[in-house]
Each structure stands twice: as C-alpha cells, then as structure tokens.
A and B are shown apart, each in its own frame.
Chain A
C-alpha cells in the first residue's frame, strides 16, 4: 500500500500506484490449473490495463514436453475462458510474445542451469534487468526440491541492481514444526523480505475494504470494542464437497485448510488496532499482535469451544450427494473435519469478553464468506422494554459472493401502532461499482512485482496462527470421539448451535 516516486518522471500520475519494475516471472507448475485459470489471465488483465511495465516475461517451468508456441496457444485458450474481461486478440498476441516455456524435471539440476541461461538471455534481449519472481504453483512436497535447485543454480541471487523474489502458495505447512521447517527452507534460499506467502483472500477487494471501512469512517471505530460489540461471527461456507482434492483434503481438514489461514486473516483484519502506517510491516505487526492475543485453548476448552464435524449424505440444491466418507479417494473411516465451528477470545483491552465465533464448512447450503459484527442490544427501556425484544444491530461485511456491506437496524412499521421491525441498509459492490472487480491474483501479482508485501502473510503471522491451531489439533488427536455428523445441505451440527446459545446468540441465517 506504500507509494514511491517513479524513476521515470513521465510515469508520475499515470497509475494510482507505482509501476512495478520490469521482471521475469517464472512459474513452477506451469501446466497446472492455477496457472491456466488464475495466474496468466491475471497477468493478461494487468497488461491490458497498462499496469505492467513494458518488459515482463512469463516463463513456464514444467515437466511436460512442449514448445513456446504450444504453451502460448494453451494459455490463450485458457485466458479467453477465464479472463474476467474477455480477450482482445491483438493485445493477447502482443502479450503472448512475452510467454516462454522451459521444460525440465523439478529435480534436474541441469534444468535450472539452462533456466538461468535462458533468463540471462531474456534479460539481455527484452530488458528485464535481472529481476525475477519465482512462483511456486506446485504441491508443497515439491518446494524443497525447487528451492534447493534455485539456490544451487544461483537463481535465488539477483544480479547486481536487480531482485529475486519467491511466491509460495498455501498451505504454509501442516502444523507449527512443518511451517517452521518450510520457512527455514525458504529462508535458506530467499530472505524474508523477498518471500511472499500468498493467501488469495487478502487480495479480495472486500478483505482490503475492511481496513478502509474501519479506519476511513469515523463512526465505526468508536463502536469497535467490547463496550458496544456483543460478539462477532465469521463464516465461510460452501456447498462443494472435496471435488477431486480428496488426497490433500483428507489429510488437511477444514481447520488446516481454511481456519489457519483465510479465517484467521479475516479475524486479524477485523480485530487489529489501527496500524502506525499503511506499509506492509506496520499492518502485519498489528495482525501478529491479534494472533498473539488469542486466548490459548486447553484440551478442556477445545472440547467446550470447538466443534468439528463431517458431512453425511444429503442433498444440495435438490441433488443427492454422498457422505464424505463415500467420496472418491477418501478413507472410509476418515475422521477428517469438513466443518469446524469455534469460539475464540482475544485477550486485550479492546476485545476482553467478546467472543469471536468462526465457522467453516463444506456441503453447506450456500457459498458465503462474511464477517458479522453483532452489537449489544439497546437498553431494556422504551421500545426495548420487557416483552418487546428488538433485534440487535448487525454490521455485515460480505467477502464473497456479492461483496458488500449491510447494516441491520430497527425501524417503525408505518401505522397507528408502534411496531418496530428490523430493516437492512445494504451496499453491494456490484450494484454501486459496475466495473468488474479485479481478481485477487491480479492485485497480489502486481504487489509482489512491486515489492509490496502488505497483502502477504509474514513468517511470524503464519507461525503464530499454527501455534494456536496446533493446540486444537493436539486435543483432537488425543480424542477423536467428539466428531459430529451433519447432513450435507444442512447448516452444520446442532453442537455448533449450542456453542452460540451459551452466549445468548444464534448463527446468522445466510
């Protein structure tokens, strides 16, 4: 989020942000889904909007044998399908000239030496000045091999005056020891300042808007504390099952797959103190403070405050769907959590006594990610006197889909009698800003090219999050008898409802 004066004075004022320096982006796992669906369409859209410098090369590194031309053709087809704003053929042709394919096994040292030679050649012929961004769009078990070979071939060190950065896709480990090992591994090749851990939730406009909502509007921040807020609900629900990711998901589960990263990030943005500045470290410092303030859960507290569950057979949109254990490639005796609901507490002055309820689940009735701030009720007098309980005010920040913000309040129903009903003020991004919202990957790739790490997770953030999550995992590993079941298409197990009922609250109906 920081800005600097461009070296080229003619660039000043052309973009609302600094233009990244010319660079080559090397994508490991170039034939994979992420490259085709997200990364290259994102880069194309950035190029189409003039947000990329004149010299940007994309080099795909993968095992399959193919030529530059074939690779470009495949990516062209994918971009036409997945680009949010379609494709201008003339512009695509020009952009495609900057795409190259490099075939090598990930563990073949000679392949990296050849890559280094090719990058040097591209620097010389296309003016990319030795700046390299390595994107590890591969399974985590390949990280070690790739990082080792990048180091051995010297590719992790930028030529003089240039830079070499690495983007790591989640998961950032599976627990604290593995995260530390992974971070040490990455740090063995790239310093923390050149490491970008991507959590695409942070690239979403609405996630970025949480800080704007809180710190650009004076009315909210005054109320943003335990004095006025009763509790906070953070939900990420999806009707999808494991969809071909069973191999990964059955080992991971909802807690590791979603809570450790996406949901704790949203919680941090919701709960953090105003940062000293908008630079990456000021913001990440505040997020880390939230993680450090999370009340640690003992095994007894885990039993009391964390509900884990797995979906059984049911129906989604009227269509029968199988139980999790009957999904392809899932262990029929799996105790993997496909649903987690938990109560978190933040032990600081601002949030003392305010429970944060987080729930995430698969095979729930609809897809929705949102943060709901439930304010305390009005005093029990006048319109809120005994027997006249009013709905409390709720501020909802919808992350996806239908990004927006709504505020529930009470209003008088027209008529001679005094009848008060809840009404909703609703702001929809799609309605107010007709322009297609940029994909999260566009923003994140541009930031990584620009050296802005604000929307990327820092090492200590990742490790603090694991520290909290590991306590839950350890309690679960010691006793798996508490795994609840819920029917696919329902809103989760009744145990999760009880979690809120203890605090006089209910889950929001989404």
Chain B
C-alpha cells in the first residue's frame, strides 16, 4: 500500500459519494448532545499533490478552532488512467466551555475524468447560504472554469509558490474580474507580509519620522530564498501607499516619488524568514527593521540626527500556512490595497 493511499484512507470514514449528507447526519446523531456542529463558511482546499493530504487536514483542524466550517478537501489527479471518485468524512472538534464544537470535513479523491467534474462535486456538497472560500493549491491553467469561479466568494492562493508569477497572476486577475468582480482575491503572500507592513508603518508613526516618508531615497529588503515575490509585493505596497511610480525601462529600475525623488531599491536573497531586514534611507536618517530566524518579532530602530527612538519590537506574525489562512479569513475585506500594490509592481513581477 502506497503512502498516498495510507494518507487519504487515514483521513476519515469512507463513504459513498451519494450518501455523504446522510452519513454526516448519522455522525451527528450518534454524537447526541455531546457535540455541536458549527459552520460559518464553506472552505474548499484543492490540491493535486498527494502528499498534501495530511498537511491540509492539519490546516483544517487548526482553522476550525476559530472559523467553524464545512471543509471540503479535494485531491485531484486529472492524469490518472482510470476515472474514479471516492470520499471520506470526519470531524474536527474542540472544547468551548463544556461543549465540543465540531466542523465537518469531506475529503474527495478524484482521479481521471472524475477530476474534471470539480464544480459538480463542490456545488453538491456546500453548506447552503454560507460563503465559499476556495484555496487553490494547484497550478492555474486555462481555460478558466468560470462556472466554478463565479460561485466563489473568496479565492485563496499563495503567489510565493509560483516559480514564474506572471502567467498565473494574469489568470487570477481574470478570475477576480469575473461576474461583477465579486470574488475576493486572497493571496497568502499578502497575509505573509502583514507583520512587516505593521512594523514598517510603526517606523513612521512619530511625526518627526513621518516628515521623512516623502523623502525616502533608498529601500533595501532582504528576503529568504524563494521569497523574492514576497519582497516585491512589499515593495509594491510601499509604492502604492506613497504614490511612487515604477520606472521599469531604465537599466536599473527605480521608483519616482510624487515630489520627484528617485527611490532606488535593492532586493537581496538571504537565508532566514521570508522578510528578514528592511531599511529605508531618507537624507541622514535610517529606518530599519530586522528579524532573526529564531525570533517572532521585528526589532525596529530609527537613526536620525536629533531624533532617536528606543529600539522596539513588533510582532512579525507567523508564517505557517494555517496561520496565513487564519489571517486571511480573520481580516476579511476585499484587499483593495493588494490590488493597488500589484498594479504598482506588475512590470517587475
């Protein structure tokens, strides 16, 4: 027996696909008064990586503690020789006072042609009247399934996983524009830089520091290997907030600030957390945030003639996939700033 089969079969109780609702009902009947089913959300995780089953189940278990949901975990293998669809059910419970609060998980393994029937599998197992959040963990491909995506309220993805971000980003933006553009794009890479955004913003809270913001001339960001897109997104956020316009045609691209200042930038790969260091130079002032791999905080310091703040620490946020998804679900919103950040750095993605 392969480890993939073991993983998926260990995920819950096997059920016939046509009997899922009935079997779930029985699960709760048997639990009697001891367990309460709760659901505020349909959460679908789609993957084509068989080894992701266990991690995705763990992610759902962690999410369910804060966001009661009906979770639908789909492992698809569109290239399998045979067409087959199988399902398992299980529940994730946690104590809330004297009660156990539970979320349901339905796991599907879709092989061959069955994997092409994704919308019907998803639509027929949603908890009615609840929003649909869909985390797409596979490569984005054309043609876009607009039947599926137009139903999705929040599409989650992680742009840091993309080796070549430009093509999938185009697809994602098209999905975001489907219908009336009601689908919210939830890039976990955006959630990943939340701590850094907080820390950078805090550098400029003081009025003396704020005076320097329009005069920044140099931005340097150190990022982990494989996290260049995270650093670029951070740069995009800065540019969109401060009105910098990218000048991509130059031999060395730079940003042009509204007051005409040329803002140079440098991205350096360095082992450690996704963003380990950001520095900003404005005249004789330097604004710095640093984080070492073992700490969950940024240390922020300001060095400016006649104005020195005490070094402070600011929560850097966590980077586990479940933490990023929690951040995405908890903050909600349409991420207008994300779209603006993307627009600001599209030419260098």
Q: For chain B, what secondary structure do more than half of its interface residues adopt (helix, strand, loop), or is it mixed?
A: mixed
Which A residues lie within 8 Å of B314 (CB)?
50, 54
Is A301 in the interface zone, CB < 8 Å from B? no
Q: How far is the CB of A286 from chain B (nearest CB, A)?
A: 28
Q: In the bound complex, what is the Cα–Cα distance between A88 and B318 (angstroms)?
A: 14
Using a CB-CB cutoff of 8 Å, which residues 417-469 of chain A contact chain B?
A: 430-435
- Contact (A8, B96) CB under 8 Å given A91-B315, A432-B40, A434-B101: no
B197/A10 in contact, CB under 8 A:
yes
Count, chain B residues at interface, CB 8 A: 44
Which B residues touch A12, using CB under 8 A?
241, 337
A50 to B64 Cα, complex, angstroms? 24
B-chain residues with CB within 8 Å of residue A435 when the two chains form the complex: 66, 330
A residues less than 8 Å from B296 (CB atoms): 88, 90
- Stretch with Cβ within 8 A of A (4 or more), from B150-158, B202-210, B264-272: B202-210
Segment at the A interface, from B6-14, B76-84, B175-183, B305-313? B305-313
**B315→A22 contact, CB < 8 A:** no
> B135 on the interface (CB 8 Å rule)?
no
In B246-303, which residues have CB < 8 Å from any A CB?
295-297, 300
Q: How far is the CA of A232 from the CA of B205 in the complex (A)?
A: 48
Cβ of B97 under 8 Å from chain A: yes
User: In whole angstroms, what is the CA distance A90 to B213 when docked?
Assistant: 29
CA distance A47 to B224 in the complex (A): 27
Distance A90 CA – B337 CA, assembled complex (angstroms): 31
Whether A129 is near chain B, meaning CB under 8 Å from some CB there, is yes
- Which of chain A's residues has its CB closest to B317's CB? A50
Contact partner of B66 (CB less than 8 A), chosen from A7, A50, A55, A434, is A434
- Find chain A residues with CB under 8 A from B313 CB: 90-91, 94
B317-330 near A? 1/0 per residue, CB < 8 Å: 00000000000001
Within 8 Å by CB of B205, from A53, A88, A430, lies A53
Q: Which residues of B contact A127 (CB under 8 A)?
A: 206, 208, 309
Is A8 a contact partner of B36 (Cβ separation < 8 A)? no
CA distance A434 to B238 in the complex (A): 33
> How many angstroms between the C-alpha atoms of A3 and B337 in the bound complex?
17
Once A50-B198, A91-B297, A431-B38 are accepted as A-B contacts, the answer to whether A129 and B207 lie under 8 Å apart by CB is: yes
* Inter-subunit contact B201/A14 (CB<8 Å): yes
- B200 located at the interface, meaning its Cβ lies under 8 Å from any Cβ of chain A in the complex: yes
Q: Report the nearest A residue to B194, measured CB to CB.
A: A14
Q: Is A504 an interface residue (CB 8 A)?
A: no
In Å, the complex CA distance between A435 and B68 comes to: 10
Closest residue to B314 on the A side, CB-wise? A50
With A430-B96, A431-B101 in contact, do A13 and B204 touch (Cβ < 8 Å)? no
Interface residues in A54-99 (C-beta closer than 8 Å to B): 54-55, 88, 90-91, 94, 97
For residue B336, CB closer than 8 A to chain A, the reply is yes
B295, A90: Cβ atoms under 8 Å? yes
Interface residues on A, range: 20 to 34
Encode contact with A along B82-126: 1 for CB under 8 Å, 0 otherwise.
000000000000101101010000000000000000000000000
Name the residue on B nearest A161 (C-beta).
Answer: B207
A435 to B327, CA, bound (A): 12
Q: A221-277: which have CB < 8 Å to B?
A: none
Query: Within the complex, which residue of A8, A90, A125 is in contact with B201, where a contact is CB–CB below 8 Å?
Result: A8
B96 contacts across to A, CB distance below 8 A: 430-431, 434
On whether the beta carbons of A126 and B68 are closer than 8 Å, the reply is no
Q: CB-CB < 8 A to B65: which residues of A? A: 434
Task: Let me know if A391 is at the binding interface, CB within 8 A.
Answer: no
Compute how far the CA of A10 lies from the CA of B216 in the bound complex, rounded to whole angstroms: 13
A392-434 interface code vs B (CB 8 A; 1 in, 0 out): 0000000000100000000000000000000000000011111
Determine chain A's interface SS by DSSP, over half rule: loop
B68 x A8 contact (CB < 8 A): no
Closest to A128 in B: B206
Question: Which partner residue on chain A sits nearest B101 by CB separation?
Answer: A431
* Closest Cβ–Cβ distance, residue A449 to chain B (whole Å): 13
Q: Flag whether A313 is at the interface (Cβ < 8 A).
A: no
A50, A54, A94: most-surrounded residue (chain B CB, <10 A)? A54
**Distance in Å: Cβ of B173 to nearest Cβ of chain A:** 19
**A11 lies within 8 A of B68 (CB):** no
Cross-chain contact B241 with A10 (CB below 8 angstroms): yes
Q: Which residues of A contact B337 (CB under 8 A)?
A: 12-13
Counting CB contacts under 8 A, is A48 at the interface?
A: yes
Q: How far is the CA of A361 from the CA of B135 in the complex (A)?
A: 51
A9 located at the interface, meaning its Cβ lies under 8 Å from any Cβ of chain B in the complex = yes
CB <8 Å contact, A14 and B198: yes
CA of A219 to CA of B339, assembled, Å: 35
**A431 CA to B205 CA, complexed, in Å:** 38
Q: Which residues of A are found within 8 Å of B202, using beta-carbon distances?
A: 53-54
Q: Which chain B positions have C-beta within 8 A of A16? A: 331, 333
CB < 8 Å neighbour of B210 from A7, A19, A88, A97: A7
Query: From residue B252, how far is it (CB to closest CB) to chain A in Å?
Result: 25
Please give the distance in Å from A328's CB to the nearest CB on chain B: 32
Q: How far is the CB of A5 from chain B (nearest CB, A)?
A: 12
B245 at the interface (CB under 8 A from A): no
Q: For residue A19, which residues in chain B have a CB less than 8 angstroms away from its CB? A: 205
Q: How far is the CA of A7 from the CA of B211 in the complex (A)?
A: 11
Q: Which residues of the partner chain A approach B208 to less than 8 Å between Cβ atoms?
A: 127
The complex places the Cα of A10 from the Cα of B64 at a distance, in Å, of: 32
A126 touches B297 (CB 8 A): no
Taking A55-B206, A434-B101 as contacts, is the C-beta distance between A9 and B241 under 8 angstroms? yes
A sample of 18 inter-chain contacts (CB < 8 A) reads A8-B210, A9-B241, A10-B204, A13-B337, A14-B198, A22-B205, A53-B205, A55-B205, A55-B309, A90-B313, A94-B312, A125-B310, A430-B101, A434-B64, A434-B67, A434-B96, A434-B101, A435-B330
11 other contacts beyond A55-B309, A127-B208, with CB at 8 A cut-off? A8-B201, A12-B241, A13-B337, A54-B205, A54-B206, A90-B295, A97-B310, A126-B309, A127-B206, A430-B96, A432-B40
User: What are the nearest 10 A-B pairs in CB distance?
Assistant: A10-B201, A434-B66, A54-B202, A13-B337, A431-B38, A94-B313, A430-B96, A9-B241, A127-B206, A435-B66
Q: Which residues of B contact A (CB under 8 A)?
A: 36, 38, 40, 64-68, 94, 96-97, 99, 101, 194, 197-198, 200-202, 204-208, 210, 213, 238, 241-242, 295-297, 300, 309-310, 312-315, 330-331, 333, 336-337
